[in-house]
């Protein structure tokens, strides 16, 4: 299955705390028609270093988007905080931590977030799945004020200039 506007390619990464949720999401989203690319880890290691997994997933989202492929990312951890921070270090990524339905939807609708972070220890599998599905399904509003604000963030990311 290849990505389409209805079903973006999904890049997913986790740390050891999110492995069970990640395995569930890979299977669940694939069954729904998403093309899911798993960036690891492949085996449980309580001492793993999640940044490389999350950065690789974020890099893949940006590369796909630059190539014209509709793609989004998911990074998972115990809280999702460190994973969100790691993903946000990749130029072109807007990773948002979703902790309820509203934050998942608004991340896409207002911020055009291209990566969602979820804490696997903060939600049941069903709750986390709902957050992910809400994020993936929500389009960006393209409202002028949101486009303008995202442009200012991108300008700072590229130039270091703060635009008023």
**For every one of its 164 residues, what pLDDT tens digit does the chain have, with 9 covering 90 and above?**
444 457 999 999 999 999 999 999 999 999 999 999 999 998 888 888 999 999 999 999 999 999 999 999 999 999 999 999 999 999 999 999 999 999 999 999 999 999 999 999 999 999 999 999 999 999 999 999 999 999 999 999 999 999 99
Q: What is the pLDDT of residue 46?
A: 85
Q: What is the pLDDT of residue 45?
A: 87
Q: What is the pLDDT of residue 2?
A: 47
Catalytic residue among 11, 39, 83, 123: 83
Q: Is 127 one of the catalytic residues?
A: no
Q: What is the pLDDT of residue 1?
A: 42
Please report, to the nearest 10 degrees, the dihedral formed by the alpha carbons of residues 49, 51, 53, 57 taken in order. 170
Q: What is the pLDDT of residue 5?
A: 55
Alpha-carbon distance 113 to 104, whole Å? Answer: 9
Alpha-carbon distance 5 to 154, whole Å? Answer: 23
Alpha-carbon distance 45 to 22, whole Å? Answer: 14
The tokens describing 98, both together, are 């979703």
Q: Is 28 one of the catalytic residues?
A: no
Alpha-carbon distance 79 to 27, whole Å? Answer: 22
Instruction: Specify the pTM.
Output: 0.94
Catalytic residue among 109, 110, 127, 133: 110
- Sheet with 9-14, strands from edge to edge, namely 36-38, 9-14, 71-77, 115-119, 95-97
* Tokens 């903060």 belong to residue: 122
Please report, to the nearest 10 degrees, the dihedral formed by the alpha carbons of residues 88, 55, 131, 17 taken in order. -120
Consecutive H or E run containing 41: none
């Amino acid at each position: 299955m290849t990505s389409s506007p209805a079903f973006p390619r999904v890049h997913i990464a986790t740390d050891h705390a999110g492995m069970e949720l990640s395995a569930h999401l890979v299977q669940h989203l694939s069954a729904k028609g998403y093309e899911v690319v798993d960036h690891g880890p492949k085996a449980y290691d309580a001492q793993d270093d999640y940044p490389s997994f999350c950065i690789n997933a974020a890099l893949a989202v940006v590369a796909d988007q630059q190539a014209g492929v509709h793609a989004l990312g998911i990074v998972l951890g115990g809280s999702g905080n460190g994973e969100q921070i790691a993903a946000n270090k990749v130029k072109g990524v807007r990773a948002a931590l979703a902790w309820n339905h509203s934050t998942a939807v608004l991340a896409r609708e207002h911020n055009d977030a291209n990566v969602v972070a979820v804490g696997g220890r903060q939600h049941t599998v069903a709750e986390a799945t709902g957050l992910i599905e809400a994020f993936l399904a929500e389009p960006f509003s393209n409202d002028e004020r949101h486009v303008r604000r995202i442009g200012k963030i991108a300008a700072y990311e590229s130039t270091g200039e703060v635009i008023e």
